[in-house]
């Protein structure tokens, strides 16, 4: 999860700057609504991140639960 401000600040491709200048459209969070997942398996708040080791433990704890999704063909 991130705020719009965080997403814009991290915009390495300059997409949000192009939207602000009117050079592009159809951008999620600007003119296309972003809809959060109804029941996510894991969320990570990137506005107020936990220490990397804490995040790594949280992600690792969910890998067994996600294995069926990752191995689908």
Q: For residues 14 and 11, what is the distance between their CA atoms, to the nearest angstrom? A: 5
List the structure tokens of 21. 């200048």
> Given this model, what pLDDT does residue 59 score?
83
> Is the whole-model pTM more than 0.85?
no
Q: Give the DSSP letter of residue 25.
A: -
32-56 pLDDT per residue, tens: 988 888 988 888 888 877 888 888 8
């Amino acid at each position: 999860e991130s705020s719009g401000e965080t997403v814009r600040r991290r915009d390495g491709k300059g997409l949000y700057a192009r939207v602000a200048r009117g050079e592009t459209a159809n951008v999620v969070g600007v003119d296309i609504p972003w809809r959060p997942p109804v029941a996510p398996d894991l969320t990570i708040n990137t506005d107020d991140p936990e220490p990397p080791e804490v995040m790594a433990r949280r992600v690792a704890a969910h890998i067994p639960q996600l294995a069926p999704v990752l191995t689908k063909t």
